Amino acid sequence: MTFLKGLHIPTDDMEFNVMNDERRTCFSSVYPFKIFPKKEISEFDFAPITIFYGGNGSGKTTLLNVISEKINAIRHSEFSGSAFFDRYVSLCRIDGYDIPPNSQFLSSDDVFDYVLNIRYLNNGIDNMREELFKGYATMRQRHFEDETYRQLHGLEDYDRWKEVRDATSRSKSQSQFVRERLARNVDMFSNGETAMRYFTEHIDRDAIYLLDEPENSLSIKLQLELAKFLLDSAKFYDCQFIISTHSPIFLSIKEALIYNLDSVPVQTCKWTELENVRAYFDFFNEHKNEFI
């Protein structure tokens, strides 16, 4: 699905006029002005899957942020552009129809925060587990020392009674007792698996998703799984993806429209023509005999 058809960014003349109006500014940076005129492009067309490729400072994330602001995408962390960012966005124009209100910007920082939160939660669960291990032993000891621990005195004591009953059950081991008491709904995934789950939880259907370097924290295997997930979501669930990436795995997604922001003028190209991909190819080609 292609909800967003195109993005028009300010031309060199438009930027010059704004900068001329702001010639007395005290700001040392006029970001995001002056990034794209030298790239000789003022319009981007979009496909169901569009990819921005380029080195640091090429404008990949800037374009995602501009698009995010223009379509009012949902953000999961705060965004602060610059003193001139809103002015720049106001000069941009998008072509599209019925932009889904549930469209989202999923940044690498969002994924990192998600992984970190899960780690903190799991650390908390680990601490809780230790307390339950101690409590299990204490309840068993008190049960055999004091018969009143086996009696139910009222509804207000039910939870406590149930824990003691479970702890003293011959059919229930210490580990079973602790596992049930934790009733944990968070699995101990690796960072990569947790990052993968972040995308599968946030990407639904019928929406635009802006992905900023999704390869971060993902192994090659998980990148392949996510790339297939994105392609299937675009084909069967009416999703549109606009992605910034260096990863050959995502760049190789079939039928993706790729903009090489390192070229002047900026051009669309095949993934196999990109410098980063060619470097991988040359490296493995040089060592191909070692794989035999």
pLDDT in tens, 180-237: 544 444 454 566 788 888 899 999 999 999 999 999 889 999 999 999 999 999 999 9
Distance of alpha carbon 263 from alpha carbon 52, whole angstroms = 12
What is the gyration radius of the CA atoms in the chain, in angstroms?
Answer: 27
Distance of alpha carbon 88 from alpha carbon 31, whole angstroms = 9
Report yes or no on 213 lying in a domain: yes
The enclosing domain of 212 has a CATH number of 3.40.50.300
The answer to which of 22-26, 74-78, 95-99, 224-228 has the lowest mean pLDDT is 22-26
pLDDT of residue 81: 73
In a shared domain, residues 97 and 13: yes
Q: Cα torsion for 276, 280, 286, 289, to the nearest 10°?
A: -170
Cα angle 70-115-73, degrees, rounded to a multiple of 5: 10
Number of other residues whose CB lies within 10 A of the CB of residue 162: 11
In a shared domain, residues 10 and 97: yes
In contact, 101 and 154? CB cutoff 8 Å: no
> What is the distance between the terminal CA atoms of the chain, rounded to a whole angstrom?
42
**Total domain count, the chain:** 2
Amino acid letter, residue 35: I
**Residue 136: domain span:** 111-182
In a shared domain, residues 259 and 171: no
Report yes or no on 130 lying in a domain: yes
Picking from 143, 167, 182, the residue at the C-terminal end of a domain is: 182
In a shared domain, residues 172 and 215: no
Whether residue 76 is predicted with pLDDT greater than 60 in this model: the reply is yes
Report yes or no on 198 lying in a domain: no
Distance of alpha carbon 96 from alpha carbon 198, whole angstroms = 28
In a shared domain, residues 157 and 214: no
**Can you name the residues that pair with 45 across neighbouring β-strands?**
6
* Strands 93-96, 4-8: pairing kind: antiparallel
Report yes or no on 120 lying in a domain: yes
pLDDT of residue 192: 72
Whether residue 61 is predicted with pLDDT greater than 90 in this model: the reply is yes
Name the phi and psi angles at 40, rounded to 5: 60, 50
Percent helix, strand, coil in the chain, to 5, is 50, 15, 35
pTM for the model stands at: 0.76
Report yes or no on 190 lying in a domain: no
Band of the pLDDT at 16, cuts 50, 70, 90? confident
In a shared domain, residues 213 and 266: yes
In a shared domain, residues 86 and 39: yes
39 closest CA partner among 241, 245, 267: 267
In a shared domain, residues 281 and 245: yes
In a shared domain, residues 90 and 125: no
